[in-house]
Every structure is written in structure tokens, then in C-alpha cells.
Amino acid sequence: MFVVSKGPFSKILSAADMVISYSSTCIEEAVQNNIPVILFDQWRRYNHFNISEVMEAQSLCLKPAYYVVKPQLLAQTIKKTFDLSANCLLDAKELIDYKYPTNYKMNFATFVKETLEGIPC
């Protein structure tokens, strides 16, 4: 295992086994690409998916994301997440609460197009 903290994001994400973040769009990118995410938030300010806090890493089951606030649980959660996701991919049903629906993407693209068309030159 190695840690990458800089470089072209598309290359980093394509090689990632997991993403550890506090608050970033990389969270959505990882989940969209079936890469597990650990939300590390020792200040309890940002629970991106409004999920339960990890209280004990050994009892975790495979999920798209985990919310860790205790620094002493981070290493254990990383190892457990890596073990759980090593040979498994989550199916669409398990990801439904974490991914944007396909029609949402289309709505967003339409919103951007209409916004840009409405800007006077």
C-alpha cells in the first residue's frame, strides 16, 4: 500500500484502492467509481453522506463509505476497509444512497448549458 497526495487526480483515482478525505469532490468521484471512501473528520463537522460513525473497526461490513472521527480508529478502519474491498465490488443496490441518479447528471448538464446560454456576451 502507498499513499499519494498529489498528481493528476484521474491517474491517482484510477489506481486507488480507497480514498481517505475530509471534504472534497474526490469523495463523489471515488463512490461513482466503486472505490470505498473513509471520511476522516476528527472535528465532527462534515459527515458527507450522513452515515453512522465507526465505533469499532473489526465489526465493519463492506459499504461505500465509512465515517471516522477518532484518530485511533483510522488505521484499523483503513485495514478493515482494504480487507473487505480487496476482492469485492458493491452492486448498484448497495450504492444507491451514495451515487447521483443518472437523470440527475443529465439535469445538471442541462442546468450548466442553460446557464451558459443565458449569459450575455
CB-count exposure of residue 84 (10 Å: 0-12, 13-18, 19+): middle
In this prediction, residues 114-120 reach a mean pLDDT of 81
Looking at the structure of the chain, the number of domains it has is: 1
Query: Is residue 2 included in any domain, yes or no?
Result: no
In a domain, 99, yes or no: yes
Q: Phi-psi region for residue 50, left (φ > 0), alpha (ψ -120 to 50) or beta?
A: left
CA–CA distance, 27 with 21 (Å, rounded to integer): 7
Q: Report the helix count and the strand count for the chain, using DSSP H and E.
A: 5, 3
Q: Is residue 4 part of a domain?
A: no
Shortest CA distance to 20 belongs to which of 58, 60, 71, 59? 71
pLDDT at 103 over 80: no
Can you give the pTM of this predicted structure? 0.76
Widest Cα–Cα separation across the chain:
58
3 domain residue, yes or no: no
Confidence band, pLDDT 50/70/90 cuts, at residue 39: very high
Residue 59: domain span:
9-117
Q: Do residues 30 and 54 touch, judged by C-beta distance below 8 A?
A: no
Q: Is the pLDDT of residue 120 over 80?
A: no
Tell me whether residue 91 is in a domain. Answer: yes
